Amino acid sequence: MSASRNDELIRRPHPRLRPFVGDYAGYDISGVRAGTHLGLPSGTLTFIVSIDEPLCQVEAVTGSCEHFDVLLAGLHLRSTLIAHPGAMSGIQINFSPSAPRAFFGIPAAEFAHHSVDVARISRPLAAELHERVNLETEWSARFAAIDDVLMRTLDDTNRPRTEVADAWQRIADSHGGLPVSLVADDIGWSRRHLGSQFRSEYGIGPKDAARIIRFDRARRLIPAGRGSMAEIATNCGYADQAHLNRDFQDFVGLSPSQWLAADDVARTHTVGPDSVGAASARG
């Protein structure tokens, strides 16, 4: 079931879906130590269809494990724990923050800071996605099945308010570097009104959105070795390496080097859960 090349594991969705969905990222991971993988904050909602075994998300306080065949995780500001026995397989569908309205008629704020079993929102959608993805053995066929299910579900007229969507896109296009005051000026709202409307739609404020988009870009470059930590910090808009380290502590509870040492999946696999962003999907 493993693919031999990473380009087999990543696919753009059908053009009709691209305003709402970024990449599909397949992963088939084995040969790592059993343990936990950290799902890190990002500028997309994480929609995962498991293959073979359900995904196991650990509740940090109690240590209990909730199993998901199809999971949707909203925008969040803290890492989540995914337990694995040294192997896991599935497809991550990177949802833009406007996607929950288009597919479920629900704003992204309803999913913020937690994960849900998609069967609780739409049992037929969850069941068909899981069944069809697990029936196929080729990645291309799995991706085609997801295209088919999502296109039949899509209501592309159900979108966030234009000003709110434009605010998200301005933040995303600047990789989190555009000051919120300028975003508010661009759309003709006060900063307070923007913050209120933005949180109502997405579940986080525009300043936090800028932080996680900037962080998300940095944490994808680190395991790929795209420069020194100081160079990555500068390229991603941080004041310095210490500033990047502070965001890692806030979002992950670890420094970048501690994160890589603790998470075999993040360190050794370029394609895996939470590894591919949807920067091309519009908010």
CATH number at residue 53: 2.60.120.10
Q: Are residues 148 and 170 in the same domain?
A: no
Length of the chain equals 283
What's the domain range around 130?
A: 6-153
Residue 186 lies in a domain: yes
Token look-up 């929102």 returns 121
Residue 220 lies in a domain: yes
Indicate if the pLDDT at residue 44 is higher than 60.
yes
Token look-up 């066929």 returns 141
Binned at pLDDT 50, 70 and 90, residue 59 comes out as confident
Work out the percent of the chain whose per-residue pLDDT is above 70: 92
Q: What angle do CA 275, 172, 165 make, to 5 degrees?
A: 115
CB 116 within 8 A of CB 72: yes
Residue 46 lies in a domain: yes
Residue 280 lies in a domain: no
CB 276 within 8 A of CB 25: yes
Q: Report, as an integer, the average pLDDT of 163-167.
A: 97
Q: Are residues 73 and 203 in the same domain?
A: no
What the block records as the tokens of 236 is 């991603």
Q: Are residues 203 and 141 in the same domain?
A: no
Q: Report, as an integer, the average pLDDT of 150-155.
A: 97
Domain boundary among 153, 177, 194: 153
Q: Are residues 90 and 219 in the same domain?
A: no
Q: Are residues 128 and 215 in the same domain?
A: no
Residue 277 lies in a domain: no
Q: Are residues 206 and 228 in the same domain?
A: yes
Helix (H) or strand (E) holding 116: strand 115-117
Domain boundary among 103, 133, 153: 153
Residue 274 lies in a domain: no
Q: What was the pLDDT predicted at 5?
A: 43
Average pLDDT, the chain: 90
Q: What was the pLDDT predicted at 7?
A: 59
Q: Are residues 44 and 113 in the same domain?
A: yes
**Pick from 204, 201, 168: which is nearest to 282 by CA?**
168
pTM exceeds cut of 0.85: yes
Q: What was the pLDDT predicted at 242?
A: 96
Q: Are residues 107 and 29 in the same domain?
A: yes
The three-class DSSP label of residue 92 is strand
Residue 273 lies in a domain: no
Domain count, the chain: 2
Domain boundary among 153, 172, 195: 153
Q: Are residues 121 and 174 in the same domain?
A: no
CB atoms inside a 10 Å sphere around CB 181:
12
Binned at pLDDT 50, 70 and 90, residue 280 comes out as very low
